[in-house]
Chain A
C-alpha cells in the first residue's frame, strides 16, 4: 500500500516491465541459490564466522538494485544479495569473501557481508548499523560539488537499524542537503530476536518520512511487482531532484538472524500472514498467471542459477587462501608515511 505522499497516477504494467520483472526474478533465484549454497557450506564447516542470508527479502532488494544505473552508488546491507547481483556485483565476490579467499575483494581481511567495490560505487558495510547512510550521502554530496548530474545513491537498513543514532544523523543530513538518496527500510519484523514492538513506537516506520521531510512509501515487500513499481518511482523521483526517498517494505525474515539462529522465537502467525509469504513463490505464481513463463521455463531458470553457482564455486574453491607470512600488515596507504615509522 502506498501512502499519500506518492504521486496519484498508477504505475501500470508498461512495455518493458515484463522483461524487467523476469530479469529481477532471475536475480532473485540466483541470490537464493547462492545463499542456500553458502548456508550449506557454513553447516559443513567451510565458512569461518557468521553466515547472514537474505531469504524472503530478495524482492525489495532486487527492485532497488535493478533500478540503479552504472555510475549510481549502492550501499547494501546484510540481506541485499539480490540487489548486489542486479547492480553488478559478480557472483565471485560473495563466494570468495565467505570462503576467505585471497582473490576476493577483501583478500580475507574481512568476511561475509562486509564486501564491496568502492571504486565501482558498491560500498562495503561495517557491522555498526546506520553507519553507511551518511557515507552514501557524503558520496552524493561530493558528486554534486563536482558538478555531476543524473546520479542517485541507494542504501538499506532494517527495522532495528532505524533505532540507531547513526541512521538518524545520516538520513537527516541527507534530507537537509536534499540529496538523491533512496533509503530502503526492510521491516522484516525482527532485529535479530527483538520484535517490532520492542524496537519502535510509531504505527509504521514510514511515518518518520514526514519527520525527516522526505517522500515515503510503505509497501508489501513480498510482492515483486509492487517492489519494482515503488523502487522505479522512488529512484526516478530522487534522480529528478525531489530529494531523499524512504521506502518501507514489510516482509518476514524467512530464517534466523544468521545460520546459527533457528529463529524459533518468531511468531507463527506472522509467517502465516500475507507478509510471511516467500517473495520468490509469489513472483513465480505471478509469472505463470501472467503467462510470462511456464513451469518448465522457471525450472530451467532455477537450474541455470544452480549451474552458475556451482561453476563459480568450483573455481573459487581452488583459489588460494591468504598467507600470513605474505600479508602486508599495514593499515596506512600513504606513500607520505615512512613505513618504518608505522606502528
Chain B
C-alpha cells in the first residue's frame, strides 16, 4: 500500500471534516464532481452539506470564508488553480490578511492553491504565486513537497487561527508517494527541514524544485560533491535559523524556486543570508528561478522555462569553482 500526495490532501480534509464539525469545503466543482483534480472525491457524499460547490466567484469564495470564520467555522476554500486566486486577491490580501491586526479578531481560513506547472498547462494553469502572497502581512504561506507534509501541514493549516494559503504542487499530486500517512506528529509550521544532509553546499528549496535539487545532488554525489538540501516547507514564516545553520556548515548557498525571479522567496533567502550570515559564505549566494515570462504552453518551452536538474548541477559546479 502506498499513498500519493493528492490522496494525502484528501485524507487530511476527510480527517478535519470528521473531527471538527466547523470544517467545511467551498470551491468550484468540489462537491459531486470531487474537484478538478479529485482532491475532494467522495467527501460530499461522506459529509453531506459540508462540501459545497461555489459559483465561479473567487472573490466571494474567499469573502464568504472570512465571514464564516468569524462565526467560528474553519472553512477550506479550494481555488481550482492557484492562478485564479488573482480574482480573489483583494479578499485574500486586504481582507483576510489584515483582519487580525486591524480588528484584534483572527480569521482562520485555509485556501488551497493548486500550483505550478505541468506539461501543456500554459500561462494560466501553472503559476507559482507564493511569493506574491508572502509579501502581504498576516498570511501564512505553506509549500509542502512531501506526502507527509501535504497531510500534516494541511491539518495544521486548518487548526491555525490565521489565514493560511496552502500551495500544493500539481506536478507532485500523483508522482510522489509514501508508504503511509503519519499517525503521530506535532505541528511545525514555520520550521524548515534538512531533507538531505551534506557538507559542500546548501541548496534551499521547496515544492517541486525540492525534487530537482535532490536529483542534482544525487548526480553530483557521483562526482564526490556533497550537497545539503533544505526544504523550507513553510515560506512564511521563513525559518532563517535552519538556513543559516546549514550555510554555516557548508559555506555556500543556492536557493531554487519555480517562481518568477523578480523578488520572491529566493531573493528573500539570499537577502537574509547575505545580511545575517555574510561571514559564513565562501562564495556569493546564488538563486535560480523560472524565466521572467509567462509560463509557456509547449512542453519543450515549459521545460526550458524552469530550473532543470542539469542547470542546477551546472550552477553548483560553477559556485564550487568560484
Binding site for B on A (CB under 8 A): 105-107, 109-110, 114, 116, 118-119, 123-124, 126, 128, 131-143, 145-146, 165-166, 169-170, 172-173, 176, 330-338, 341-343
Q: Which residues of B contact A146 (CB under 8 A)?
A: 22, 71-73
**Binary interface profile of B, 94-126, with partner A (CB < 8 Å = 1, else 0)?**
110110111111100000000000000000000
A333 touches B60 (CB 8 A): no
Given contacts A138-B66, A342-B237, 13 further A-B contacts (CB under 8 A): A123-B67, A131-B94, A134-B63, A135-B95, A138-B67, A139-B70, A140-B67, A142-B73, A145-B49, A169-B60, A169-B63, A332-B237, A336-B156
Is B249 located at the chain interface by the 8 A CB criterion?
Answer: no
Residues of B within 8 A of A (CB): 22, 24, 49-50, 54-55, 57-73, 75, 87, 90-91, 94-95, 97-98, 100-106, 137-138, 140, 156, 159-162, 187, 189-191, 237-240
Contact in complex: B140, A116 (CB < 8 Å): no
- CB closest residue in chain B, given A106: B102
Q: Inside 8 A of A131's CB, which chain B residues have their CB?
A: 59, 63, 90-91, 94-95
Instruction: Tell me if A332 and B138 are in contact (CB < 8 A).
Output: yes
User: Once bound together, how far apart are the Cα atoms of A316 and B246, in whole Å?
Assistant: 53
Closest to A171 in B: B60
| B91 nearest CB neighbor, chain A only | A131
In the complex, which residues of chain A have a beta carbon less than 8 angstroms from the beta carbon of B106?
333-334
Residues of A within 8 A of B95 (CB): 126, 128, 131, 135
Given contacts A145-B49, A173-B64, A336 and B71 within 8 Å (CB-CB): no
Shortest beta-carbon distance from A115 to chain B in Å: 9
CB pair A166 B49 closer than 8 Å: no
Q: Say whether, besides A106-B103, A169-B60, A336 and B187 are in contact (CB < 8 Å).
A: yes
Q: How far is the CA of A141 from the CA of B160 in the complex (A)?
A: 21
B94–A126 touching, CB < 8 Å: yes
Distance A105 CA – B73 CA, assembled complex (angstroms): 23
Q: How far does the alpha carbon of A21 sit from the alpha carbon of B120 in the complex, in Å?
A: 65
Please report the C-alpha to C-alpha distance between residue A170 and residue B191 in the assembled complex, in whole angstroms.
37
Q: Are A334 and B71 in contact (CB under 8 A)?
A: no
In the complex, A338→B238 CA distance in Å?
Answer: 11
Given contacts A166-B63, A332-B138, A336-B187, contact A124 B102 (CB under 8 A): yes
Complex contacts, B72 vs chain A, CB 8 Å: 142, 146
Residue contacts A-B, CB under 8 angstroms, 29 given = A106-B103, A110-B102, A114-B102, A128-B90, A131-B59, A131-B94, A132-B63, A134-B57, A134-B64, A135-B66, A135-B67, A137-B67, A138-B64, A138-B66, A138-B75, A141-B64, A141-B67, A166-B63, A169-B58, A330-B101, A331-B97, A332-B138, A333-B100, A333-B106, A334-B161, A335-B161, A336-B160, A341-B238, A341-B239
* Contact yes or no, B101 A136, CB < 8 A: no
A170 to B138, CA, bound (A): 23
In the bound assembly, the distance between CA atoms of A282 and B72 in angstroms comes to 43
What residue in chain A is nearest B99 (Cβ atoms)? A118
Report Cα–Cα, A337/B238, bound state, in Å. 11
Q: Are A169 and B57 in contact (CB under 8 A)?
A: yes
A138, A170, A172, A337: the one within 8 Å of B68 (CB)? A138
A166 pairs with B100, CB closer than 8 A: no
B52 to chain A, nearest CB (A): 8
Report the bound CA distance from A133 to B103 in whole Å: 18
- Closest residue on chain A to residue B190 by CB atoms: A341
- What is the CA–CA distance of A332 and B101 in the complex, to the nearest angstrom? 7
A146–B68 Cα distance when bound, in Å, is 10
Inter-chain CA distance A176–B97, complex, in Å, is 27
**Docked-complex contact B237 and A341, CB < 8 angstroms:** yes
Q: Is the CB of A166 within 8 A of B59?
A: yes
A176 to B64, alpha carbons, bound, how many Å?
13
Task: List A contacts of B161 (CB < 8 A).
Answer: 333-336
Task: List, in ascending order, chain A residues with CB within 8 A of B71's CB.
Answer: 139, 142-143, 146
Please, which residues of chain B bring their CB within 8 A of the CB of A337? 140, 160, 162, 189-190, 237
The CA of A137 and the CA of B70, in the complex, are separated in Å by 12
Contact yes or no, B57 A172, CB < 8 A = yes
**Which residues of chain B come closer than 8 Å to A124, judged between CB atoms?**
102-103
Contact assessment for B94 and A135 in the assembled complex, using a CB-CB cutoff below 8 Å: no
A135's partner among B55, B64, B137, B240 (CB-CB below 8 A) is B64
Q: Beyond A105-B103, A109-B102, A332-B162, is A169–B237 a contact (Cβ under 8 Å)?
A: no
